[in-house]
Structure 1
Amino acid sequence: MTRPSNMREWSARARAAGEAQAEPTGATLIRGARVLDPASATDRKLDVLIENEHIAAVGEALAAPARASIIDAHGLWLMPGLVDLCARLREPGATHKASFASEMPAAFAGGITQVLIPPDTQPALDTPAMLIRVQRLARQAGTLDVRMLGALTRELSGAALAELSALKSAGAVGVSNAAAPINDSRIARRALEYAKGLELPVHVFAQDAGLAGNGCAHEGPVATRLGLSAVPVAAEVAALRFWISLVEDTGARVHFCRLSTARGAELIEAALGRGLPVSADVAAHQLHLCDTDVDGFNAQCHVQPPLRTRDDRDALRAAVASGVIGAICSDHQPHEADAKINPFPLTEPGISALETLLPLTLQLVHDGLLSPLQAAERLSRGPAAIAGLDSGRIASGALADLVLVDAEARWTLRPERMLSAGRNTPFAGRTLRGRVRATWRAGRAVFRASG
């Protein structure tokens, strides 16, 4: 696949590809799939009938309506469409990196049917007008269900609260200050009080800005040997303790985004044990990589929060298995090639991750850490519940957001074959296990694997 010479050409090609793949709604009968429905704890071989936008029936030996498309899914898994709690699609403000049109085909190829975008677009999502503008851009680009987090403070400055009520009315499913700090603890407390009254969840990236400084790697032997400025574990721990104490005071619902440390997982477990309304997610790459992968100044492993130790990685895996961490997200951040070619501290953090979210999670199944049903829970029902969405289920009457998966398929990730405009991935050349065969969004086939 030849890479287009500019983003406008790429967006046009990606949009055309998405339109070509999107089949009209109608009747489709999926026969003999292993149905994984976390909402009902169903894990068994069943037929699923799609009619128009919804699931019409789930059962054994269903009759096919006249002129229905029939898919033989024996040996394949059928899961709810993935719900990604953090994906930066780069529009508006950074369309030289990617766009809605370029990233939607990548999302569908990864089995993702709903995404949440954080509010750190340019300009920030701090007014109803901005939310409405982005909703319009997303609808024009394709059928991916794009949801938004409104800005917690104006311009993400941390100085004054945004109009949270107006943002909710405009469609925000939660509020966040993204990675921008709120240094005034009174503002933070008032934000939770305000959000509590509106029943809006607050998404918090837990990293103390003072302790993190300009760090770009985990504080440890690798960073020391490479001479890289470091982010200590204490940066995450201090922020978590601060926000958890405010949850205790206000009763506001807080979701902690992209945990990276064992200590952080322990604090979430303790807070849940006390009945506090908190939840947490982790980026898929944190469950497979650790700080030693940064060795050699590998800029593809420059992420925030930084990759931690092997012990941290294993503790995060255990927290995902136990349900302390209820969701796995992509933390998708596509970049142009130039963003990763400077000296390590000057490169831009982030991974193009829509197309690897599912196979990286399925690797945990193959490793014996998760059951197939748990994997479906962490990728669909769990994140949907966190975002307050009625999705992540396979049942009669439910919206037909579905993904058909060959869990045993082995394939090698080649950046040049990725559908995302961003080719920045530390998993290039790695053999992955598990691949999407088809994706339906609201009953419409938006992706079918070739061959």
Structure 2
Amino acid sequence: MNIPVSPSVAHQPLALVNGRLVDGQTYDCVRGGILILDGKILDLGPEVAPKNLPVHSRVIDCGGDFIAPGLIDMRAFVGEPGGEHRETIATATAAAAAGGVTTILARPDTNPPVDEPAVVDFLLRRARDTGRVRLIPCAAMTQGLRGEEIAEIGLLQQAGALAFSDGAHSIANSRVLRRVLSYARDFDALIIHYAEDRDLAAEGVMNEGEFATRLGLSGIPREAEAIALDRDIRLVNLTGARYHAALVTTTLSLDIIERAKAAGLPVTAGTSINHLTLNESDIGDYRTFLKLAPPLRREDERRALVEALSSGLIDVIVSDHNPQDVETKRLPFAEAENGAIGLETMLAAGLRLVASGEVSLQRLIGAMTLRPAEILGLPQGRLRVGAPADVIRFDAEAAYVVDPSKLRSRSKNTPFDEATMEGRVKLTLVEGRIVFEEE
């Protein structure tokens, strides 16, 4: 282990030892450690142990906890600009750091939307000045998110946008979406689309079915998602553009994604941690914190999503972090806004699937790290020599009760309010810098 000796604290090696390494590809609970120098992974594996380290290293004994890449969240609303009453970059990234999320792809449906290079530049500067973790702008596909005129994808990409989406807005006009996909293909840009037939969804507020009928609430049929997604995939076949389905939540959609992948189309898919761990019955007595878009589905649909995650058909897990203030959630269910916060609880909620034996830990971590990194073309998200030292330490068995008042997000609309969770992040590093450490 050849480590340069430097008297500077800034260049002091940092070693996490006595841990269990896990990532999405190479390491599956391998005993060992990780050595970090100048913001990158210098060495890792069983040989990284106290006896092999130079005396000037800073050593953190992980006591058998897991060491993993920092999580990459491909769908989160961070508030700025225009929604600071719901969230700010400072509060969102503080929550992310506490939850082990080291990279956020920020949604573009802000006010003003991220449809101009100046707004991309604003986000990057605000993230640099006030953020704790990496924040990458996702720019708008259409001007003003109206689904009518294409945004300047080339200029937005040059400004620093890594992907293109209209956030929670679905493009209804197939001609416009075809043009977006064709334009994006020429720039090798990734399109992330929220697939929903808005006319079919209409005024629905939860999943259509027996449970909605018993609650007296209008339903949204599964077909509202599947029809739009099927249209999207046909346009991908026509244009050859890279396409990511932002949120897949039904078996109908899974069938469409499976056929697209079998045909070799450049298609990937994500789902939210909420749809993997909750179902429509959890809404119970009109719990508005569980009013989401897409709505929570039946238990058989949830189980199908988990199986698709385990098999790799679903590539990515997202928090779908969507903070809402008290005024928009403390309303009758039909009138409340959609959305739940999730940056701080995404990992712990996912570990429920590991504890139940439904998904392996390596697959769970891979869907939150390696696959998002591969789709976005990022160097982080993996435990590899030379990779950025975006690393977390977590105890998968540490139990706690979710107390909304202690969450770092500005809004407190967590669907796991007062739930008992297992899995606590103890340390979060971004480029080797400690951005969160459990007290």
- Mapping of residues 175-254 of structure 1, within 5 Å: 175-254=164-243
User: How far apart in 1 are the matches of 2:172 and 2:127?
Assistant: 33
1:32 to 18, 23, 41: 18
2:160 to 160, 164, 171: 171
User: How far apart in 2 are the matches of 1:81 and 1:286?
Assistant: 22
User: How far apart in 2 are the matches of 1:334 and 1:182?
Assistant: 23
User: How far apart in 1 are the matches of 2:281 and 2:122?
Assistant: 42
| Code of the aligned partner of 1:128 | P
Contact 2:197 2:224 in 1 (8 A): yes
Q: Indicate the RMSD between aligned Cα atoms, in angstroms.
A: 1.4
Contact 1:126 1:153 in 2 (8 A): yes
Structure 2 unaligned spans of 5+:
1-8
Contact 1:206 1:256 in 2 (8 A): yes
- Mapping of residues 119-130 of structure 1, within 5 Å: 119-130=108-119
Matched, 1:441 2:427: no
User: How far apart in 2 are the matches of 1:95 and 1:38?
Assistant: 35
Q: Which residue of 1 aligns with 2:259?
A: 270
| Secondary structure in structure 2 of the residue aligned to 1:244 | helix
Contact 1:222 1:295 in 2 (8 A): no
Matched, 1:312 2:301: yes
Q: Which residue of 2 aligns with 1:7?
A: none
| Code of the aligned partner of 2:316 | A
Matched, 1:367 2:332: no
Q: Which residue of 1 aligns with 2:273?
A: 284
Q: Which residue of 2 aligns with 1:54?
A: 40
1:327 to 306, 316, 320: 316
Contact 1:438 1:447 in 2 (8 A): yes
Residues 44 and 129 of structure 1: CA distance in aligned 2, closer, same or farther (over 3 Å): same
User: How far apart in 1 are the matches of 2:147 and 2:233?
Assistant: 18
Contact 1:110 1:436 in 2 (8 A): yes
| Secondary structure in structure 2 of the residue aligned to 1:167 | helix
| Code of the aligned partner of 1:302 | K
| Code of the aligned partner of 1:91 | E
More deviation, 223-232/144-153? 223-232
Q: Which residue of 1 aligns with 2:333?
A: 344
| Code of the aligned partner of 1:29 | A
After superposition, give the CA deviation of every residue in 1:370-406 in whole Å (9 maximum; x if it has no partner).
2221111011001111222121111221110001010
Contact 1:244 1:271 in 2 (8 A): yes
More deviation, 176-185/282-291? 176-185
| Secondary structure in structure 1 of the residue aligned to 2:379 | coil
2:61 to 66, 72, 88: 72
Contact 1:87 1:118 in 2 (8 A): yes
User: How far apart in 2 are the matches of 1:411 and 1:316?
Assistant: 26
- Mapping of residues 102-113 of structure 1, within 5 Å: 102-113=91-102
| Code of the aligned partner of 1:418 | L
| Secondary structure in structure 2 of the residue aligned to 1:296 | coil
User: How far apart in 2 are the matches of 1:25 and 1:409?
Assistant: 33
| Secondary structure in structure 2 of the residue aligned to 1:435 | strand
User: How far apart in 2 are the matches of 1:235 and 1:173?
Assistant: 28
Contact 2:426 2:437 in 1 (8 A): yes
Alpha-carbon deviation of 1:25?
Answer: 6.6
- Mapping of residues 93-172 of structure 1, within 5 Å: 93-172=82-161
| Code of the aligned partner of 2:174 | S
Q: Which residue of 2 aligns with 1:10?
A: none
User: How far apart in 2 are the matches of 1:266 and 1:24?
Assistant: 51
Residues 292 and 60 of structure 1: CA distance in aligned 2, closer, same or farther (over 3 Å): closer
| Secondary structure in structure 2 of the residue aligned to 1:85 | strand
1:387 to 364, 376, 390: 376
User: How far apart in 2 are the matches of 1:354 and 1:143?
Assistant: 13
| Code of the aligned partner of 2:43 | A
Q: Which residue of 1 aligns with 2:246?
A: 257
User: How far apart in 2 are the matches of 1:243 and 1:404?
Assistant: 39
Structure 1 unaligned spans of 5+:
1-22
Alpha-carbon deviation of 1:29?
Answer: 0.9
More deviation, 173-182/107-116? 173-182
User: How far apart in 1 are the matches of 2:143 and 2:265?
Assistant: 28
- Mapping of residues 82-93 of structure 1, within 5 Å: 82-93=71-82
| Secondary structure in structure 1 of the residue aligned to 2:395 | strand
| Secondary structure in structure 1 of the residue aligned to 2:260 | helix
| Secondary structure in structure 2 of the residue aligned to 1:86 | strand
User: How far apart in 2 are the matches of 1:59 and 1:321?
Assistant: 26
After superposition, give the CA deviation of every residue in 1:13-68 in whole Å (9 maximum; x if it has no partner).
xxxxxxxxxx9673211112111132435541122111121111113333223332
After superposition, give the CA deviation of every residue in 1:308-341 in whole Å (9 maximum; x if it has no partner).
1111101101111001001111000122222211
Residues 394 and 283 of structure 1: CA distance in aligned 2, closer, same or farther (over 3 Å): same
1:44 to 13, 16, 30: 30
Q: Which residue of 1 aligns with 2:3?
A: none
Matched, 1:404 2:412: no
| Code of the aligned partner of 2:404 | P
Contact 1:26 1:443 in 2 (8 A): no
After superposition, give the CA deviation of every residue in 1:164-220 in whole Å (9 maximum; x if it has no partner).
110111111111122223232111111111111110010010111111112110001
User: How far apart in 2 are the matches of 1:25 and 1:302?
Assistant: 48
User: How far apart in 2 are the matches of 1:447 and 1:41?
Assistant: 24
Q: Which residue of 2 aligns with 1:296?
A: 285
User: How far apart in 2 are the matches of 1:26 and 1:215?
Assistant: 57
User: How far apart in 2 are the matches of 1:159 and 1:47?
Assistant: 52
User: How far apart in 2 are the matches of 1:40 and 1:351?
Assistant: 33
Q: Which residue of 1 aligns with 2:6?
A: none
